[in-house]
Chains A and B, each alone.
Chain A
Amino acid sequence: MPIDLVANVVVAGLLAGLVYGLAALGLSVIFGVVRVVNFAHGEMMTAAMYLAVVLVGLTGIDPLVAALPVGGVLFLFGYALQRGLINAFVTRPEHTQFILLVAVAIILVNVQLMVFGPNARNVQVDYALDSFEIGPLIIDKVRVYAAAAAVLAAGALFAFFRRTLVGKSIRACADNYLGAQVVGLNVKRLYALTFGLGAACVGAAGCMMLLLVDVTPVQGPAYTLLAFIIVIVGGMGSLTGALAAGVVIGMSEALAGLLIAPSAKSMVTFAILILVLLFRPQGLLGRAG
């Protein structure tokens, strides 16, 4: 196997992995704060991808520009979902939360199926076939742009949590629920904001993803699983962990596709998950205990 080829595949996987990482970041934020596992995460991502397809089709803007309005729509969706439906379930047992979100996921997938049909959709950009050449590396432009956008979005999220008062309040809720209430934070509203932010992350990631793959409704559950795996591998609640694990999974997928078989990609991903759960259950960058 020529080393150039392997290097090319690894870089391609790394760049796609950053987009995966952004999607998983959304899940991690929601779980870290609201303590609810969003089992409809991948379905929200395909919904965002369809929104982007429509928007790009109507206006002709770049999918990466579409990430802003689509992220906004997903934010509102997530906010409303948390406020109207999920908030009542925050203190209920895990399995009822699970069923609630599975029901949401079923509805989302099948509304997409009703509206857009089962066939794959994609967007066309004029730089789709261009690439950068760096020494022996030939890297698709779409991947570079998508990955750059993902890093930018993740950076904005980090800054929001570190620098702004709202971001700090959200972190306070995650650290100490009771304490946050005592100091007078509106936890309900902050939870809804958090869910909205998580949804916006996955919405933006969906737009970037659209540069790399087609979208079909049935991919939703697979994306949900992928996001989970990345979050667990990176460490639940660790934001940098989610990005790093996205890269690890992206690269291992790409390598497995090259060295074993394209259809065995996710098998390697699941194997990584099982190993991490067994030997480092707090995740690669998570804190123990």
Chain B
Amino acid sequence: MRALVAGLPARARAVLALVAVLLLGAPFAVDAYVLSVLILCLYFAYTGQAWNIMMGFAGQLSLGHSLYVGIGAYAAAALFVHFDVNPWLGALAAIVLCTLAGLVIGFLAFRFGIAGVYFAILTIAFAEFTRIGFDHWNWLGASGGLFLPVKERGVTDLATLRGPPVMFYYAILALTVGALALSRLLLASRLGYYWRAIREDEEAAQALGIDTFRYKMVAVGLSAAMTSLAGVFFAFYYNNLFPEQIFSMGRSIEIILGPIIGGLGTLAGPIVGAFVLTPLADGITELMQLLGIETPGVKQVFYGVCLLVVIVFLPNGIWPAIARRLGFAPR
């Protein structure tokens, strides 16, 4: 908790306290639908933060983060379904596997000097390659999907992650707050400065004696490990996994929209972006239903136009534009 508020001016602390009260109390005040939207917001806030470490802090553009969501989800779910392994242990396995996957991709890319657009395409390639592999892996349900048994939705059983949506709400809230605290610590640390030096000018960073390969590897590994937990959450919250859905490039793009719209490389950006985009997408769906428009695609067109407007008029994201007004020091 200290990591979250230390060094902030009073006004910013007041804003944070208000947000904290709202988020903690939300499940008591809203209906099931709004709660599900809030869970989705927090889910994207969390994955956005994980991605932000790699791209926002260290400047490595990954367009394949669905890979880590997918591996994390499948690892924990498969252990649970096939061997009755406790999801918390499953989460540990997910972290290990995803960290390894991230390190392998990072090693191959950084050793061979692959950067920028090429690195981004490489991450897409690994995610797509894995998606097709999982489509044919019968032990994991192949393209037919892997399903987790649902017993009693009403009983909260934190040990096996079986329970009502409220339990999942607080779980993802805890993850998001944890990621925010970790990001803040990292940014203020030596590692955080190294990352930003690499992001701004890798050659200059290297000339100053920073082991750029090593710190880029740390960024990829950490980001992958954090993303894997989102996968575990996804598996136990939705109880079904399809390679087509979880590994697709569309998923990776969903993950990165929040931080970019919110403010790349900032602490609050991924959270702000997720809380703007997710309700926007849902709001459009509601509006379409209200207006009785059932043509497929209308919603996404509107979504695309909103995205276009934000990127044209607020290229640095929403957060930098409002941070000062809320009493947060401009980053």
* A interface with B by C-beta (< 8 Å): 37, 85, 88, 92, 94-96, 98-100, 102-107, 109-114, 117-118, 217, 221, 225, 228-229, 232, 261, 263-264, 266-267, 270-271, 273-274, 277-279, 281
Contact = CB atoms under 8 A, between A and B. Distances in A.
B85 interface: no
Contacts of B114: 277-278, 281
Nearest to A282: B118
B114, B124, B128, B297 interface centre (most CB from chain A within 10 Å): B297
B39 interface: no
Contacts of A96: 260, 311, 315
B122 interface: yes
A99 B133 contact: no
B304 interface: yes
B113 interface: yes
B276 interface: no
A92 B315 contact: yes
Contact of A114 (B121, B295, B307): B295
B136 A263 contact: yes
11 contacts: A99-B260, A103-B305, A103-B307, A107-B301, A107-B305, A111-B301, A266-B132, A273-B122, A274-B126, A277-B118, A279-B112
Contacts of A100: 308, 311-312
B300 A94 contact: no
Interface string B56-87: 00000101000000000000000000000000
Contacts of B126: 270, 274
Nearest to B315: A96
A271 B126 CA distance: 9
B121 A228 contact: yes
Contacts of A102: 253, 307
Nearest to B129: A270
B296 interface: yes
Contacts of B128: 225, 266, 270
Nearest to A100: B311
B297 A110 contact: yes
